[in-house]
Structure 1
């Protein structure tokens, strides 16, 4: 019987507790990084969508000499495959070093003022607003 106990191989309780503690520490370090990655990914989507729409505006202007009146016109004229789907209202998104929160009903739109070309906005703000990290407005 003594030979049976000596030849038994396995992990001791102490070794298992140490491994579980190490895994807990690693998980505690990794989870916040993954949460920040989601916020950064939303920001990359917003910035990318705005750049794509601005490129479509420029292509229409270069080809037809007119600016679009709305996003659907860019789709109808085949400069966009579809109007980009905005992120959900209330979602945080990060562009640069600044985190913003999308308002309920936030959407992409085209705006223009006197003597300025048509610009794309998200939640009423241009891409430059987000890149500057201006949180004082809106």
Structure 2
């Protein structure tokens, strides 16, 4: 009987329970961070798309002397490869310290004239500056 106990290999039930508890605690800490990373990634996509569209607007104006009326015009004139795909309506996204929700009746990315009558890239009718300042629609402080 002594040889059987000495040669026994494996884990006790207590050891297994402790390991499972530790893994559960680590998972509980990691999952909220991954959820926040997804929201931040969506915000980075929106901000990057808005800046890319505005760069294309500037390029067309610099080269042709005309301002684009819509995003498709930028694609047709080869300043954008394609119209950026907006995030799904109802999705949360974070830019800076603010969290926003994409409108369900989202117009996606558009070009609208600002108060100085210059074309600006918008998402749900808001410029990237409005998102950064938290003055866009559906803003909530993080």
TM-score (norm. length: structure 1): 0.94
1:104 aligns to what? 104
Question: Residues 86-126 of structure 1: CA distance to partner in whole angstroms, max 9, x if unpaired?
Answer: 00110000000100000013200011156431001100101
In structure 1, runs of 5+ residues without a counterpart are: none
1:116 aligns to what? 117
Q: 1:49 to 1:102 in 2, by over 3 A?
A: same
1:9-88 aligned at under 5 Å gives the runs 9-88=9-88
Q: Is the 8 A contact 2:126 2:137 kept in 1?
A: no
> Is residue 2:2 matched to residue 1:2?
yes
Q: 1:124 to 1:69 in 2, by over 3 A?
A: same
- Output the aligned Cα RMSD: 1.6
- How far did residue 57 of structure 1 move? 0.1
Q: 1:136 to 1:60 in 2, by over 3 A?
A: closer
What number of residue pairs does the alignment pair up? 138
